[in-house]
């Protein structure tokens, strides 16, 4: 890594917990034998704010967090293909308001499950290889974006089943795409990152007519004029290894590699020369023992806090809005030793869930501080 | 780091304070260290503050947005479900009636067995029906013609991290010996804060060695870098001060500013971005900044004798000559002409409408103002040429470029047509004004004059035009030179096409004569238009050298000797061709005068001269005849050619092929001999992209395969294998990556390039290998480029899968056929920061 120039140093957080909040394990479940790769609360529909879904192996399970650490099992889905191994899940919502679960994994097929009817809604075949992450556009929750090993990011309309845009080509990723995220307010903007060590910001502004067209498309989805977006508006080389998770924090980007830290940086684009620009690294949130890839962090609804697990089963909860960064809490339990692939933070940050390589789900609840 | 600059004043003061404090000369350096240290701390503190401010600003931005999202989330309701089923939303229903409930352990849990969800809910699990998955592929972009790899896509010199799906580990592989050679040291980039420190220090302490040492401690970089930076800063500072002065002065009319510019600067985009081989801008195949080769093939403009020429307008030099040649007493007639200008204008409007040419706006002084683009071509060119720039310049350059591109196509027709029209109307009208006899009577004189004038085209240099009443701006001069290049000494055409509204025909003619007079010493002997060609040639080198000077930065691909002998195992090759790969063709720059002889680079490289080369012999009648008799003759010529003359013969061959191609090779409609066997002109189909429809589907063997839509005959051309052109060095590196991924789309093209269809290509990249193939691939030389064509080896049915022999280098089997290597590479290259998806056991 190049030396950081004077006056551009990031503010690095201290690993001493602030003790502002305390969390305690209130429940744990064994879902199956296979590793759990994703867990996600439903932030799309306020009726289901306490409902979450997990994926692992060929199954998708829906739970509800109740008072007193109680977890209710609501629904369970299993792919008939035993070789399927889901890597990611995201909540979405159909035009008619039905809650949808969108999951993808090693088979490269996106499964859209209609949780309101407990049946498969649609399956999207098209990705050339496994799917590493799916995210939903909160402003238009029937739009989802998927990141795949086939080096592309694709935008789908779950309502009509159309692949609207493919973000790949001349300026695209040169290895697996591991993570993707919608900008919170700029509906045209997404950020993706992957095994080519870069984070790329894409704009679909010029292609928005196709997005609109996808809602009114009545012909076969395969006949839709899917467009390639070949050039990102910004490419950042913030990391020197796989970048396995990125999220927008307002106009800034939180991303992590395998360097035991989450990095917050500001993309500084040059107005008239797309693709060029520099990244100003603002803050760093250290996460010890977090040097294996495919560990994703998650945030509460308002992005006030981020929770990330590590290789040893510990969780670090960082305050995202403070500067310098404040470690809210460090969660550890003697029996939690397996790598935590992903966490989920509830709407208000009072509950943190973790899903582990050994197939367990842990629930942590905030303890009223004395 | 805006905050740094805004806060710089406070830093300044801190610095000053410190400086005053330690004024003593004795421990000047100690003071320096201290003050720089303090400065550094201050900068860092300010950075922390600025980050905090940024975050705060960002948070505020986001807040309103999230409240909107909450609103959205709470507005969701079931629209149709409740209607349809009467049961309501099943998810909501489940919340009332869950499958099972797992109680929490508020006080922790001991050795209790974990609740197993899978078993508990197995009965209520919903099955997701099987969906057949497709074979894996990497997203690729369709390419109908080969492209040069863009520099930023190179993997050479980059650290590559492999992911081994079996071990779940990643391996960083860098071929150490290769990479070590490349300088790792990056140039130090100075941040604003660092600039500030350097500047302050420099102002106070100068740049002594000791000072530099201290600076390096804080700022980094090397002494020379700091010195250099200091210079830059100094210049910037001066520039800033000058800027302030300038700003006040700056109000000169920008109207004429463009005329001061250089034409070659304006044409830079055109010269550098226009591909003369593909006739497109920004050619992805041949790249930009190609060497400009003035093809000897270029025909000289069609010369119209002055006898036949008719005045192009009232300001035409022909008219002025008429007047000059009139007996002195007849000055009155010129007066008459100007008097009758209005009627002349009428003529012109009439003419313009007749000729369908752009309108000339006309003011009373007789100056043309706005000229609409000559044609669509010109518009196209200029749009690319000048994004900005004044409209006027644009239109001027438009016509210039337009004509340059269209070359002799335009000039023969429309302008002369216009002239004719002018004459037609002009004679009618002028009969009353002008004494026609005068005009015709002086015909002989005109001729003489013409001879006199057509002397020697000098190499035009800066000529003081103080005597000129109308001043010649640099751009006008350049345009004039271009005009001479394109039209010869035809001031009518130059005025009309290159300098409309700027200079009249008469002025140009005068300038032309003046410049000649100024440069030509003697040499007045040659006369007549017969010399025009010669003059044209004599002038051209001058023009060319000017252009050459401009275009210093020719992109040359480095070719590593090391990799040239090394052919990785998995490249697709063409085997039938001798083992030697073809040589990349680069147009030679042989001059038209010098015979393109043994020293011609084309000959030395073993390629042939193409029409893009500097020297192509004029197409003789014999070649044309050969074209008519068919390809057979040419082939014979080619075969029989001996080393010395092979060059020229091949050249004829290619010209012939081109002729044959233009005549419509192959279908027999023009009476050419029927094609025979392999002799069919595959080039033409490739050139015209007359390919078969290829379908992409699941292969019968493995993965994807390419299939035929329609049935074809043996030797039919199926399509082209397109991809990115990459260097052999690059291919070596990529090959190693592809080996690991077990899929390679590399195809050996020639001695310089390998085709890689991994990211970009067409469906034929999915055609599978077979040792008993039904198709074959062939590298074909088409219009100066090597391209890979796939042909049918036998008659094939519609829907049949396409196979061809990849022809891996003998003695090396495809990588996937070999047992996995005992990985010495993996052992040696385990890096410190390697990533693992799974924890190592």
C-alpha span between A176 and B161 (Å, rounded): 11
Give the up-direction half-sphere exposure of residue B353: CA atoms within 13 A in the CB hemisphere: 6
Q: Tokens 């004059």 belong to which residue?
A: B449
Mean pLDDT computed over A259-263: 93
Q: Which residue has the higher pLDDT, B87 or B22?
A: B87
C-alpha span between B392 and B397 (Å, rounded): 9
Asked if A174 and B153 come within 8 Å (Cβ–Cβ), the reply is: yes
Query: Residue A128's closest CA among A154, A112, A148, A99?
Result: A148
Q: Which of A22-36, B401-415, B771-785, B791-805 bottoms out in mean pLDDT, i.e. has the lowest?
A: B401-415
- B231 in A contact zone (CB under 8 Å): no
> What is the b/e burial string over A247-286, where b = at least 16 CB atoms within 10 angstroms of the residue's CB?
bbbbbbbbbbbbbbbbbbbbbeeeeeebeebbbbbbbbbb
Mean pLDDT computed over B171-185: 46
Asked if A27 and B102 come within 8 Å (Cβ–Cβ), the reply is: yes
- The 3-state secondary structure of A310-369 reads CCCCCEEEEECCCCCCEEEEEECCCCCCCCEEEEEECCCCCEEEEEECCCEEEEEEEECC
Asked if A99 and B91 come within 8 Å (Cβ–Cβ), the reply is: yes
Residue B415 Cα distances to B316, B411, B473, angstroms: 13, 6, 25
Asked if A77 and B128 come within 8 Å (Cβ–Cβ), the reply is: yes
- B83 in A contact zone (CB under 8 Å): no
Asked if B126 and A108 come within 8 Å (Cβ–Cβ), the reply is: no
Q: Looking at chain B from residue 108 to 137, which residues have their Cβ under 8 Å from any Cβ of chain A?
A: 108-109, 114-118, 120-122, 124-134, 136-137
Spell out the alpha helix ranges (H) of B488-606. 491-497, 505-519, 532-550, 561-564, 601-605
Q: What is the model's pLDDT at position A86?
A: 95
> How many beta-carbon pairs below 8 A join chains A and B?
323
Mean pLDDT computed over B151-168: 64
Asked if A77 and B136 come within 8 Å (Cβ–Cβ), the reply is: no
Nearest CA in chain B to A99: B91
One-character DSSP codes across B87-107: S--HHHHHHHS-SEEE---TT
User: Do A300 and B70 contact (CB within 8 A), yes or no?
Assistant: no
Asked if A168 and B141 come within 8 Å (Cβ–Cβ), the reply is: yes
Nearest CA in chain A to B125: A76
C-alpha span between B729 and B182 (Å, rounded): 14
One-character DSSP codes across B164-176: ETTTTEEEEE--H
Compute the nearest-CA separation of A5 from chain B (Å). Answer: 6
Which site among B44, B118, B121, B159 would you substitute to test the A interface, given the most A Cβ atoms closer than 10 Å to its Cβ? Answer: B118
Residues of A in contact with B170 (CB under 8 A): 242, 293
C-alpha span between B32 and B77 (Å, rounded): 69
Compute the nearest-CA separation of B417 from chain A (Å). Answer: 46
Work out the end-to-end distance of chain A between its first and last CA atoms, rounded to an integer number of angstroms: 44
- B51 in A contact zone (CB under 8 Å): yes
Which site among B87, B104, B185, B758 would you substitute to test the A interface, given the most A Cβ atoms closer than 10 Å to its Cβ? Answer: B104
Residues of B in contact with A66 (CB under 8 A): 101
pLDDT of residue B5 exceeding 70, the answer is no
Compute the nearest-CA separation of A25 from chain B (Å). Answer: 7
Which site among A1, A3, A6, A35 would you substitute to test the B interface, given the most B Cβ atoms closer than 10 Å to its Cβ? Answer: A6
Nearest CA in chain B to A95: B79
Q: Is the peptide bond before A195 cis (omega within 30 degrees of 0)?
A: no
Residues of B in contact with A282 (CB under 8 A): 51, 54-55
The helix (H) or strand (E) run that includes residue B8 is: helix B8-21
> What is the b/e burial string over A201-211, where b = at least 16 CB atoms within 10 angstroms of the residue's CB?
bbbbeebeebb
Q: Which residue has the higher pLDDT, B575 or B472?
A: B472
One-character DSSP codes across A57-70: TTEEEEEEE-GGG-
| pLDDT class of B93 with cuts at 50, 70, 90 | confident
Asked if A151 and B117 come within 8 Å (Cβ–Cβ), the reply is: no
Q: What is the model's pLDDT at position B320?
A: 65
CB-based contacts of A277, cutoff 8 Å, min separation 6: A234, A236, A267, A268, A269, A270
Compute the nearest-CA separation of B189 from chain A (Å). Answer: 8
Q: What is the model's pLDDT at position B768?
A: 86
Asked if A6 and B218 come within 8 Å (Cβ–Cβ), the reply is: yes
Q: Which residue has the higher pLDDT, A132 or B778?
A: A132
Q: Which of A104-108, A237-241, B661-665 bottoms out in mean pLDDT, i.e. has the lowest?
A: B661-665
Asked if A249 and B62 come within 8 Å (Cβ–Cβ), the reply is: yes
The helix (H) or strand (E) run that includes residue B322 is: helix B317-325
Compute the nearest-CA separation of A94 from chain B (Å). Answer: 10
Between β-strands A227-229 and A162-167, what pairing exists: parallel, antiparallel or unpaired?
A: parallel
- B95 in A contact zone (CB under 8 Å): yes
C-alpha span between B234 and B200 (Å, rounded): 11
C-alpha span between B545 and B673 (Å, rounded): 46
Asked if A170 and B835 come within 8 Å (Cβ–Cβ), the reply is: no
Work out the end-to-end distance of chain B between its first and last CA atoms, rounded to an integer number of angstroms: 46
Compute the nearest-CA separation of A213 from chain B (Å). Answer: 22
Q: What is the model's pLDDT at position B493?
A: 80
- B365 in A contact zone (CB under 8 Å): no
Asked if B51 and A113 come within 8 Å (Cβ–Cβ), the reply is: no
User: Do A339 and A356 contact (CB within 8 A), yes or no?
Assistant: yes
CB-based contacts of A138, cutoff 8 Å, min separation 6: A43, A44, A182, A184, B69, B72, B73
Instruction: Quote the tokens at residue B560.
Output: 């590593």
User: Do A135 and A145 contact (CB within 8 A), yes or no?
Assistant: yes
- B105 in A contact zone (CB under 8 Å): yes
| pLDDT class of B164 with cuts at 50, 70, 90 | low
Which site among A73, A123, A357 would you substitute to test the B interface, given the most B Cβ atoms closer than 10 Å to its Cβ? Answer: A73
- B288 in A contact zone (CB under 8 Å): no
Instruction: Quote the tokens at residue A245.
Output: 């998770």
Asked if A241 and B833 come within 8 Å (Cβ–Cβ), the reply is: yes
Q: What is the pLDDT of residues A185-211, one digit of tens each?
A: 999 999 999 988 999 999 999 999 999
Q: pTM score, two decimals?
A: 0.71
C-alpha span between B669 and B646 (Å, rounded): 32
Query: Residue B497's closest CA among B479, B513, B518, B474?
Result: B479
Q: If you average pLDDT over every residue of chain B, what do you get?
A: 62
The SS3 assignment for B190 reads coil
Q: Which of A141-155, B284-298, B354-368 bottoms out in mean pLDDT, i.e. has the lowest?
A: B354-368
Asked if B103 and A69 come within 8 Å (Cβ–Cβ), the reply is: yes
Mean pLDDT computed over A81-97: 92
ipTM of this complex prediction, to 2 decimal places: 0.89
Asked if A107 and B133 come within 8 Å (Cβ–Cβ), the reply is: yes
- The 3-state secondary structure of B734-757 reads HHHHHHHHCCCCEEECCCCEEEEC
> What is the b/e burial string over B500-512, where b = at least 16 CB atoms within 10 angstroms of the residue's CB?
bbbbbbbbbbbbb
Q: Which of B50-54, B100-104, B335-339, B717-721 bottoms out in mean pLDDT, i.e. has the lowest?
A: B335-339
- B217 in A contact zone (CB under 8 Å): no
C-alpha span between B774 and B787 (Å, rounded): 20
- B688 in A contact zone (CB under 8 Å): no
Residue A284 Cα distances to A192, A287, A349, B482, angstroms: 19, 9, 21, 60
Residue B711 C-alpha from the chain's centroid: 39
- Strands across the sheet with B753-756, in order? B147-148, B724-727, B753-756, B746-748
Nearest to A26 among B63, B104, B131 (CB): B104
> What is the b/e burial string over B328-364, where b = at least 16 CB atoms within 10 angstroms of the residue's CB?
eeeeebbeebeebeeebbebbeebbeebebbebeeee
Q: How many residues does this entry show for chain A?
A: 370
Q: Which residue has the higher pLDDT, B374 or B502?
A: B502
Nearest CA in chain A to B124: A76
Compute the nearest-CA separation of A165 from chain B (Å). Answer: 12
Q: What is the pLDDT of residues B210-269, one digit of tens each?
A: 777 777 777 777 777 777 888 888 888 888 888 777 665 554 445 556 666 677 777 777
Asked if A69 and B105 come within 8 Å (Cβ–Cβ), the reply is: yes
Residues of A in contact with B139 (CB under 8 A): 128, 148, 150-152, 166, 168-169, 172
Q: What is the pLDDT of residues B190-204, one digit of tens each?
A: 777 777 787 777 777
Asked if A6 and B161 come within 8 Å (Cβ–Cβ), the reply is: no
User: Do B828 and B821 contact (CB within 8 A), yes or no?
Assistant: no
| pLDDT class of B186 with cuts at 50, 70, 90 | low
Q: How many residues does this entry show for chain B?
A: 841
C-alpha span between A159 and A215 (Å, rounded): 7
Residue B471 Cα distances to B464, B467, B507, angstroms: 10, 9, 10
C-alpha span between B767 and A357 (Å, rounded): 40
CB-based contacts of A231, cutoff 8 Å, min separation 6: A169, A170, A171, A274, A275
What Rg, from alpha-carbon coordinates, does chain B have?
Answer: 38
Q: Looking at chain B from residue 804 to 833, which residues have their Cβ under 8 Å from any Cβ of chain A?
A: 833
pLDDT of residue A91 exceeding 60, the answer is yes
Query: Residue A285's closest CA among A243, A318, A312, A307?
Result: A318
Asked if A241 and B161 come within 8 Å (Cβ–Cβ), the reply is: yes
The helix (H) or strand (E) run that includes residue B233 is: helix B223-249
Residue A361: strand pairing partners: A29, A355
Instruction: Quote the tokens at residue A292.
Output: 């294996």
Q: What is the model's pLDDT at position B454?
A: 39
pLDDT of residue B363 exceeding 70, the answer is no
User: Do B165 and B158 contact (CB within 8 A), yes or no?
Assistant: no
Asked if A80 and B141 come within 8 Å (Cβ–Cβ), the reply is: no
Residue B54 Cα distances to A269, A280, B2, B347, B453, angstroms: 16, 11, 11, 70, 74
CB-based contacts of B151, cutoff 8 Å, min separation 6: none
């Amino acid at each position: 890594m190049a030396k950081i120039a004077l006056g551009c140093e990031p503010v690095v957080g201290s690993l001493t917990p602030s003790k502002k909040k305390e969390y305690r394990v209130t429940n744990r479940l064994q879902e199956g034998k296979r590793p759990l790769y994703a867990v996600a609360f439903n932030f799309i529909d306020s009726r289901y704010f306490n409902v979450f879904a997990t994926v692992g192996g060929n199954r998708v399970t829906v739970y509800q967090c109740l008072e007193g650490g109680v977890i209710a099992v609501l629904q369970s889905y299993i792919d008939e293909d035993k070789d399927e191994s889901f890597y990611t899940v995201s909540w979405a919502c159909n035009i008619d308001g039905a809650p949808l679960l969108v999951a993808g994994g090693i088979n490269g097929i996106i499964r859209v499950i209609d949780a309101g009817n407990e049946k498969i809604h649609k399956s999207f075949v098209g990705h050339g290889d496994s799917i590493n992450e799916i995210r939903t556009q909160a402003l238009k929750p029937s739009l989802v974006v998927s990141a795949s090993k086939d080096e592309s990011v694709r935008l789908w309309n779950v309502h009509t089943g159309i692949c609207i845009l493919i973000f790949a080509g001349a300026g695209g990723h040169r290895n697996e795409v591991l993570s993707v995220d919608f900008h919170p307010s700029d509906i045209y903007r997404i950020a993706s990152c992957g095994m080519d060590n870069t984070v790329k910001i894409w704009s679909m502004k010029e292609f928005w007519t196709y997005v609109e067209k996808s809602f009114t498309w009545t012909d076969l989805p395969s006949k839709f004029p899917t467009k390639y977006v070949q050039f990102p508006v910004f490419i950042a080389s913030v990391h020197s290894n796989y970048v396995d998770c990125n999220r927008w924090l307002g106009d800034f980007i939180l991303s992590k590699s395998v360097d035991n830290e989450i990095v917050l940086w500001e993309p500084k684009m040059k107005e008239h020369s797309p693709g060029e620009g520099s990244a100003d690294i603002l803050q760093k949130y250290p996460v010890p023992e977090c040097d294996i890839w495919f560990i994703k962090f998650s945030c509460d609804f308002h992005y006030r806090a981020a929770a990330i697990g590590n290789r040893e089963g510990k969780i670090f909860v960082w305050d995202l809005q403070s500067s310098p960064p404040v470690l809210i809490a460090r969660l550890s339990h003697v029996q939690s030793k397996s790598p935590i692939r992903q966490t989920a933070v509830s709407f208000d940050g009072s509950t943190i869930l973790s899903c582990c390589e050994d197939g367990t789900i842990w629930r942590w609840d905030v303890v009223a501080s004395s | 780091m805006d905050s740094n600059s805004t806060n710089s004043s406070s830093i300044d003061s801190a610095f000053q304070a410190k400086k005053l404090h330690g004024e003593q000369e004795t421990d000047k350096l100690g003071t320096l260290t201290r003050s720089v240290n303090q400065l550094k701390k201050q900068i860092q503190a300010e950075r922390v503050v600025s980050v905090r401010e940024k975050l705060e600003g960002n948070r505020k931005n986001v807040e309103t947005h999230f409240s909107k999202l909450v609103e959205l989330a709470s507005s969701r309701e079931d629209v149709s479900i409740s209607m349809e089923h009467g049961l309501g939303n099943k998810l909501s229903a489940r919340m009332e009636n869950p499958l099972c409930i797992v109680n929490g352990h508020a006080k922790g849990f001991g050795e209790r067995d974990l609740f197993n969800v899978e078993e508990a809910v197995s009965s209520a699990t919903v099955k997701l029906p099987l969906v057949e998955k497709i074979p894996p592929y990497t997203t690729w972009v369709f390419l109908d013609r080969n492209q040069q790899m863009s520099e930023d896509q190179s993997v050479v010199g980059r650290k590559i991290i492999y992911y081994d799906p079996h071990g779940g580990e990643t391996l960083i592989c860098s071929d150490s010996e290769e990479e070590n050679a490349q300088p790792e040291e990056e140039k130090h980039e100075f941040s604003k804060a660092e600039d500030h420190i350097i500047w302050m220090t420099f102002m106070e302490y100068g740049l002594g060695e000791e000072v530099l040492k201290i600076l390096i401690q804080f700022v980094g970089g090397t002494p020379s870098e700091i010195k250099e930076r200091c210079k830059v800063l100094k210049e910037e500072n001066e520039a800033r001060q000058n800027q302030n002065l300038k700003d006040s002065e700056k109000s000169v009319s920008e109207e004429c500013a463009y005329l001061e510019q250089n034409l070659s600067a304006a044409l830079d985009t055109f010269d550098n971005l226009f591909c003369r081989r593909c006739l497109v801008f920004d050619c992805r195949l041949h790249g930009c900044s190609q060497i400009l080769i003035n093809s000897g093939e270029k025909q000289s403009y069609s010369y119209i004798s002055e006898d036949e020429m008719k005045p192009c307008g009232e300001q035409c030099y022909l008219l002025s000559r008429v007047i000059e040649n009139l007996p002195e007493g007849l000055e009155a007639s010129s007066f008459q002409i100007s008097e009758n200008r209005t009627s002349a204008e009428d003529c012109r409007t009439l003419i313009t409408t007749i000729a369908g040419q752009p309108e000339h706006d006309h003011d009373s002084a007789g100056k043309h103002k706005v000229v609409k683009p000559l044609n669509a071509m010109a518009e196209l060119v200029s749009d690319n040429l000048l994004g900005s720039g004044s409209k006027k310049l644009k239109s001027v350059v438009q016509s210039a470029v337009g004509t340059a591109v269209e070359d002799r196509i335009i000039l023969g027709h429309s302008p002369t047509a216009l002239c004719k029209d002018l004459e037609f109307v002009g004679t009618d009208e002028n009969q009353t004004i002008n004494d026609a006899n005068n005009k015709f009577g002086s015909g002989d004189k005109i001729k003489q004059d013409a001879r006199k004038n057509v002397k020697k085209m000098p190499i035009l240099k800066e000529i003081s035009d103080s005597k000129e009443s109308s001043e010649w701006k640099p751009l006008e001069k350049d345009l004039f030179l271009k005009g001479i290049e394109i039209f010869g000494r035809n001031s009518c055409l130059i005025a009309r096409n290159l300098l409309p509204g700027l200079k009249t025909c008469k002025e140009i003619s005068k300038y032309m004569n003046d410049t000649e007079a100024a440069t030509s010493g003697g040499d007045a002997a040659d006369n007549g238009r017969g010399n025009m060609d010669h003059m044209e040639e004599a002038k051209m080198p001058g023009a060319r050298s000017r252009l050459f000077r401009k275009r210093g930065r020719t992109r040359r691909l480095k070719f590593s000797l090391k990799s040239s002998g090394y052919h990785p195992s998995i490249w697709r090759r063409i085997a039938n061709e001798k083992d030697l790969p073809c040589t990349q063709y680069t147009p030679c720059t042989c001059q038209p005068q010098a015979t393109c002889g043994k020293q011609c680079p084309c000959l030395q490289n073993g390629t042939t001269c193409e029409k893009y080369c500097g020297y192509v012999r004029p197409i003789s009648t014999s070649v044309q005849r050969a074209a008519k008799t068919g390809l057979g003759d040419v082939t014979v010529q080619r075969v029989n050619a001996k080393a010395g003359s092979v060059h020229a013969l091949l050249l004829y061959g290619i010209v012939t092929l081109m002729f044959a191609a233009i005549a419509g090779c192959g279908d027999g409609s023009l009476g050419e001999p029927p094609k025979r066997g392999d002799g069919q002109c595959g080039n033409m189909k490739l050139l015209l992209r007359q390919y078969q429809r290829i379908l992409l589907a699941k292969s019968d063997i493995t993965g994807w395969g390419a299939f035929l839509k329609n049935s074809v005959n043996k030797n039919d051309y199926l399509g082209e294998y397109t991809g990115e052109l990459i260097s052999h060095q690059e291919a070596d590196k990529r090959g190693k990556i592809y080996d690991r991924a077990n899929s390679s789309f590399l195809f050996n093209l020639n001695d310089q390039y390998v085709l890689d269809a991994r990211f970009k290509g067409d469906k034929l990249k999915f055609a599978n290998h077979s040792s008993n193939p039904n198709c074959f691939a062939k590298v074909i030389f088409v219009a100066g480029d090597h391209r890979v064509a796939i042909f049918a080896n036998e008659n094939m049915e519609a829907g049949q899968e396409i196979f061809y022999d990849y022809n891996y280098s003998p003695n090396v089997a495809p990588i996937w056929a070999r047992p996995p290597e005992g990985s010495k590479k993996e052992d040696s290259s385990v890096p410190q920061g390697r990533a693992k998806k799974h924890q190592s056991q």
